[in-house]
């Protein structure tokens, strides 16, 4: 729950034009008779779902709270005016749209207005990743070694390359080195930081006889199985190269792709002289660390739905990735009266289709065709 709650409890509903928990017939506002004004109808995981505030112990309460430098307008359907740790409750949270005007009512109406609303992305979808790549620092002394960002051209003559990459983005970075005379080496890494496992490789060369060198790929990280493609079209783990002289330079290239789509394109010079094989190799280390994105821009203008079942298990729209069919459409927003605290109150009508997830990764589909919420601002 958020820090510094400012809770508006509309439980009596005597002077209100909606019904919370009806205790006596005279508590029902004139003109509404016994029909609740707020409630919802639809299905949860294919089973009928119907809630009417004022019947069966159900109440609806608007809540205004501060969360991560933004304001959240919430409407909670629960039993007997429960607000926290409820068993059987359904909560609709609307995060204030940015920028703030400085006026509570203006901010509210800018956020709660007719039209479609986006759901807040799951943490995995909105988090960023801090990427750090390292090569031996001595390679950079001459200035012939560098990092190159192929996605956004940027050169760095430092032994360490750092970047922050958002979810769904790919890192496409090359390490190039001509640090020593005649020794050429290049490794380009195409890497999805969300997997946290890069695909790095090295080439091993072995002199089989005076005229034959075997060259093998050795994956040093990544997720098997691996797909290999050599410069000559071979897809085997090893290839055989013929040599004609006692001293020769072989420039060998290979691309390795792991099961997660990460790949490494490696070009490496192999020198053979006097029956000695020397493969140019500069080890690279890569670390990917999640960086939670708590910026209010992540939630601004978006919506979250939380359901707590009768066993106390929480199901949330934000705990998993929403399918493309998920939607929330506000059809109507009308001023509906004033609360006992003289706060302006609004009736918001909407429909939604959303997938709710629990901590174990299980899911339920919530489909509501007729929803009437009680919402308010400070």
Q: Hey, where are the domains in the chain? A: 5-121+293-376, 128-291
Element (H or E) spanning 291, and its range? strand 285-291
Beta bridge partners of 352: 328, 368
- The CA distance from 193 to 196, in Å, is 5
pLDDT digits (tens, 9 = 90+) for 21-51: 333 322 323 333 344 688 999 999 999 999 9
Pairing type for strands 227-230 and 201-209 reads unpaired
Mean pLDDT of 168-176: 89
Q: Quick check: 276 and 317 in contact, CB under 8 A?
A: no
3-state secondary structure 340-378: CCCCEEEEEEEEEEEEEECCCCCEEEEEEEEEEEEEECC
Coil, strand or helix at 278: strand
Position 103 pLDDT exceeds 90: yes
- Which residue intervals of 80-129 are DSSP H helices? 104-111, 123-126
Question: Nearest Cα to 129, choosing from 77, 191, 221?
Answer: 191
344: left (phi over 0), alpha (psi -120 to 50) or beta: beta
Say which residue, 274 or 58, is predicted with more confidence: 58
pLDDT at 17 over 80: no
Average pLDDT over residues 359-367: 96
Supply the pLDDT for residue 139.
Answer: 78
Phi and psi angles of residue 36, each rounded to the nearest 5 degrees, phi first = -65, 145
Question: 343 falls in which pLDDT band (50, 70, 90)?
Answer: low
The C-alpha atoms of residue 42 and residue 57 are separated, in whole angstroms, by 19
Instruction: Judge contact between 254 and 199, C-beta under 8 A.
Output: no
Q: Comparing 89-93, 165-169, 304-308, 327-331, which segment has the lowest mean pLDDT? A: 165-169
Tell me: the pLDDT tens digits for 218-246?
Answer: 888 899 999 999 999 999 999 999 888 77
CA 15 to chain centre: 44
R_g over Cα of the chain: 31
Assess contact for 70 and 95: CB atoms under 8 A: yes
Give the span between the Cα atoms of 121 and 301, in whole angstroms.
Answer: 12
* Mean pLDDT, all residues of the chain: 84
Distance CA 125, CA 233 (A): 37
In the three-class reduction of DSSP (H, G, I as helix; E, B as strand; rest coil), residue 296 is classed as helix
Cβ-based neighbours of 142, under 8 Å, separated by 6 or more: 179
Per-residue pLDDT at 8: 40
Distance CA 119, CA 117 (A): 7
Greater confidence, 228 or 286?
Answer: 228
pLDDT of residue 182: 67
Task: Please say whether the beta carbons of 114 and 349 come within 8 A.
Answer: no
């Amino acid at each position: 729950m958020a820090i510094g709650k400012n809770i508006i409890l509309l439980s009596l509903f005597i002077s209100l034009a909606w019904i919370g928990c009806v205790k006596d017939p005279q508590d029902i506002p004139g003109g509404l008779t016994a029909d609740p004004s707020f409630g919802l109808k639809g299905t949860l995981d294919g089973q009928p779902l119907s809630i009417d505030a004022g019947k069966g112990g159900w109440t609806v309460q608007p809540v205004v709270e501060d969360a991560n430098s933004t304001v959240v307008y919430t409407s909670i359907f629960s039993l007997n005016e429960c607000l926290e740790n409820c068993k059987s409750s359904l909560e609709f949270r609307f995060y204030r749209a940015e920028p703030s005007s400085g006026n509570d009512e203006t901010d509210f109406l800018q956020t709660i207005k007719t039209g479609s609303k986006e759901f807040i992305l799951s943490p995995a979808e909105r988090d960023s990743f801090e990427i750090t790549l390292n090569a031996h620092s001595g390679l950079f002394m001459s200035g012939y070694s560098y990092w190159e960002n192929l996605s956004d051209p940027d050169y760095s003559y430092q032994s360490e390359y750092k970047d922050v990459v958002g979810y769904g983005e790919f890192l496409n970075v090359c390490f190039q080195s001509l640090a020593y005379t005649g020794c050429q080496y290049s490794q380009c890494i195409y890497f999805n930081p969300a997997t946290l496992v890069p695909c790095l490789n090295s080439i091993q060369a072995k002199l089989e006889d005076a005229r034959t060198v075997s060259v093998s790929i050795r994956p040093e990280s990544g997720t098997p199985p691996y797909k290999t493609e050599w410069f000559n079209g071979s897809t085997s783990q090893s290839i055989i190269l013929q040599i004609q002289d006692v001293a020769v330079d072989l420039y060998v290239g290979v691309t390795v792709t792991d099961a997660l789509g990460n790949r490494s394109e490696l070009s490496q010079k192999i020198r053979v002289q006097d029956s000695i094989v020397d493969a140019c190799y500069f080890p690279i280390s890569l670390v990917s660390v999640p960086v939670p994105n708590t910026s209010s821009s992540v939630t601004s203008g978006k919506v979250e739905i939380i359901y707590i079942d009768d066993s106390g298990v929480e199901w949330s729209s934000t705990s998993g990735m929403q399918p493309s069919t998920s939607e929330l459409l506000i059809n109507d927003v009308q001023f509906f009266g004033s609360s006992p605290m003289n706060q302006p109150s609004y009736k918001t009508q909407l429909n939604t289709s959303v997938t709710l997830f629990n901590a174990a990764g299980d899911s339920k589909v919530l489909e509501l065709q007729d929803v009437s919420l009680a919402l308010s601002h400070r």
